[in-house]
Structure 1
Amino acid sequence: MNSLPAPRERLVIIPTFNEIENIEAIVRKVMSLEPVFDLLVVDDGSPDGTGAKVKALQTEFPDRLHLLERRGKLGL
């Protein structure tokens, strides 16, 4: 039996660096859009806590909000 959720067809990717002041509003806005999107936040090692904020938001959107934390500012 396969217990994995069905993949969604749409993925929004948001690259971040030091976006602690903006990331919650951005996440909430994307999550409110129709049709339903998955959201991948790619954080380039923000020292301001952006990644930690996204992790906290993942409790509200556990199956739709994903985080990739990179060690440094690597760009796209």
Structure 2
Amino acid sequence: MSKTPKIAGKQPIPVEVVAGKTYWWCACGQSKKQPFCDGSHKGTAFEPIGWKAEKSGNAFFCACKRTSKSPLCDGSHNAL
């Protein structure tokens, strides 16, 4: 079982989020509904990561799955 997630993209994915809502970020990189989980992690070492929006507006979710600030982009895609 791989411990390295699949790179789903090399740019962050902007999402209009709603304050108080929890979003389930795909950590495995296999979801067809990026950046969110669709259950594709089943049978892998990965689990989705829940993130609750503190305020409404744009959030930039990591698509490369290498961020140190899961689930948000920290620029790690620039080193790929």
Q: Same fold (TM over 0.5)?
A: no
Computing the radius of gyration from Cα coordinates, the structure with the larger value is: 1
Structure number with the higher helix fraction is: 1
TM-score by structure 2 length? 0.26
TM-score by structure 1 length? 0.27
